[in-house]
Structure 1
Amino acid sequence: MRLRGVRGSRNVEDRRGRGGAGRGAGIGGVGLLLVLALGYFAGVDVSPLLQDQAGYGQSDEARELTPQEVQAGEFAARVLATTEMVWTDKFPELTGRAYEPPVMVLYSGVTQSPCGDASGATGPFYCPADKKAYLDTEFFATMSQQLGAKGDFAAAYVIAHEVAHHVQNELGILPQVNQRRQAVGQTEANQLTVRLELQADCLSGVWARAVEGALEPGDLEEALNAAKQIGDDTLQRRAGRVPQPHTFTHGSSAQRQRWFALGFETGDARQCDTFGRERL
C-alpha cells in the first residue's frame, strides 16, 4: 500500500510507551497473542491455556518504543488518515451529517477501556462508549506470522474494519443491534453479530475501493486472504474444532471475502445492508 505523502492522523492515542505488558512463563509473546487471537475470532475458550501465565499484566515502568513499534504506529496513523478522508467524503451522502472520526488507541499488552480491559484476548476492537478503536500493534505480527494473513494491506484492512464499526455506530446501526442482542437467545445474538461484522467487512471494501490509487499489485489479494484466514470456520479448524456455525460471531471465510469484495466492487455503502439479506 502506497502511503508515502499521507500524513498520519492526529486522532491517535499512543499508550505503548507508558508501561510494558509483563509476559509470563510458558507461552511466548507471539504464541500467547496467537492463542488470544484464536479465542477472540473463533469463540474458543482459551482460559485453560492462559492459566499459570503469571505476570501477564501492565507494568508501571515507562519504556522506549522499539523501531518496529514506531514503524507500526506510523503505519496505523497513516491508514487511519485514509479512512478519515474516505468517510469524510462518503458519510454525508448517507446521513447529511458531517463525519466525526474515531480515536485510535495504540497499546501494548493490556490497557483499559469503558468497554472493559483491553488485551490480546479481545483483539482489535471498537468501543462505542468512548468512540475509540483499540489496537495492540503486535497483532500485525500475529496476523502475518501465525494466522497466515501477510502483507501491509491485510493490516490496513483490520484498521478499516474497526473504523467501519465506528461508522455503524454513527449511523445508529450498532446501538440498535446491541439492544436487540440483549433481548434474544445466544444463537440469534450470534447471528446478529455475524451480520454486523460482515457489514463492517463490506464497508472496509468500500474504503478499499476509495483508496484504490494507493493500492499496489497484490494488495487486494492480501485483504481477501486476511478475510479468509480470520473467518470463524477457518479459525475453529485451526483450533482443532469442527466448525459450528451456530457459534460463529464474525462469519465464515467465504462470507467475509464475499462481503469485502461486494464493497470493493460497488464502492457503495448502501450495498452493505447485511440485515436486509436473507442469504449472507
Structure 2
Amino acid sequence: MSTLLVKNASLLVTMDDQRRQLEDAGLFVRNNVIEQVGTTTNLPATADVVIDARGMIVLPGLVNTHHHLYQTLTRAVPEAQNANLFNWLKTLYPIWAGLTAEAVYISALVGLAELMLSGCTTAADHLYIFPNDARLDDEIRAGQELGIRFHPTRGSMSLGESQGGLPPDRVTEDEDDILRDTQRVIETYHDPSRYSMCRVGVAPCSPFSVTPALMRESRRLAKSYGVLCHTHLAETLDEEAFCLEQFGYRPVEYAESLGWAGDDVWWAHCVH
C-alpha cells in the first residue's frame, strides 16, 4: 500500500463545486487515489513519498480529449504546412502507410511524455490507421510504461478512394477485420473500474473514411461492451459538402441518423 503526500503548496486549486483555492495546502494519496485535500496542517504528517510544494501551485491534471499520437512523427512535413484538411491528409496518407509497430510505440512515448510534461494526466488518443504490423497495443504499452491515465480508441478507415472515400485504398481495412480487432482490444485492455488507468473506446475515423454500415456496427459493438464512442465530426466545410452530397445530411444530422449521439459519445472538432 503506497502513499503520497504533497504539502506546503502556496496555492491549491481544488476545482470543486465551490471552486475553492487553498493556501498552504496539499493532498494525500493512497494507492493512486486522492483521499484528502486540505491545508497542510490537516493532512497526515508523512507518507512513503513526500513532495514539498512550497512556492508552487497545485491544480488538477489537464485532460486531453482528442489526439493523434502517431502524427507526432509527421508534424514538420513541409508539403503539409498551411494546407486545408483534405489536401493535408492526401499529402500525409502515403507517409502514414509506412507506419510500423515500432513507429506507433515511439510516437506514443514522445507524444504522451510531452503531454505529461505540460500537466496533462489523462489523454485520449484516436489511432485509425493500421498498416504493416501496427496495432493499438503498441501505444497502450507506451501509456502503461509512462503511467498516464490513457483512453486509447480503436479507430478505423474502410471507405477508400475506389468507393468514393478520401483515403487511398491501401490504408483502409476490411470492416469485418476492424470489428474483430476492436473486440479483441476491448476484451484485452479495457478496464471499466472507477480508477482505471486504461479505458478503450471505439472510433471510426470520419464520415468521409468509413461507411454508414461500419458506423452502425461500431456503435452496436461499443454498446454491447459499455465503452465510449468517438469520431471526427463537422471539422471542415469540405466535410459538410461531402456529407450533403453522399448522405443528404449535414454532419451532425448524419451522426444522429446513425445513433451516434448521447452521453457515451464524444465528437472531435465540431467547428462547421
TM over 0.5: no
Higher helix share: 1
What is the TM-score when the length of structure 2 is the normalising length?
0.28
- The structure having more radius of gyration, on CA atoms, is 2
Higher RCO (CA < 8 A, seq sep 6+)? 1
